[in-house]
Chains A and B, each alone.
Chain A
Amino acid sequence: DADVTQTPRNRITKTGKRIMLECSQTKGHDRMYWYRQDPGLGLRLIYYSFDVKDINKGEISDGYSVSRQAQAKFSLSLESAIPNQTALYFCATSEGNQETQYFGPGTRLLVL
């Protein structure tokens, strides 16, 4: 079984809809992250969490919110999706700041 899982793997939604992407991990790591990847732009950090009571904005948090429901779960929400949020979204975990990050398989989101 994969250590970091993301659901759904693919999603098509319409402008204005609320959507939630979920991430679960079995690695026992305290730190979790959400990134988005657009063609030619590499990965950009959206939000990150160092433990259950900690939420921090990343480079591009506008239009997104997150919830750290438990050590193992970190959800990303788009309250009102817009087409320029069409991207590949990755969740990652790490044990510490400079420790290796382990990435999930990604969620491909298309906003029409």
Chain B
Amino acid sequence: GAGVSQTPSNKVTEKGKYVELRCDPISGHTALYWYRQSLGQGPEFLIYFQGTGAADDSGLPNDRFFAVRPEGSVSTLKIQRTERGDSAVYLCASSLGQIMNTEAFFGQGTRLTVV
């Protein structure tokens, strides 16, 4: 597609529920990133995929968070047993491979609210 697409744009869920957030990167971009942005803060890194594999998942806060990218394109961020502290905007970005001087393109984000 023309840009990075994230769905849903908004998600309200009850504490303890499971949620999935989807990211559709720019066609041809092999690198995909998930970030989390809390109110008043800059985006914080969660996980980075190169192709189908998670090259760096050290930013995931705990084992309730998991992400997949089975075919090297669309990615899903999964959060189990959601907590109110998980409320944030979840951003997805993609870029052309591991080229260091290549900028990442961001989606509009999914605003997750845990009530």
**Does A pair with B?**
no
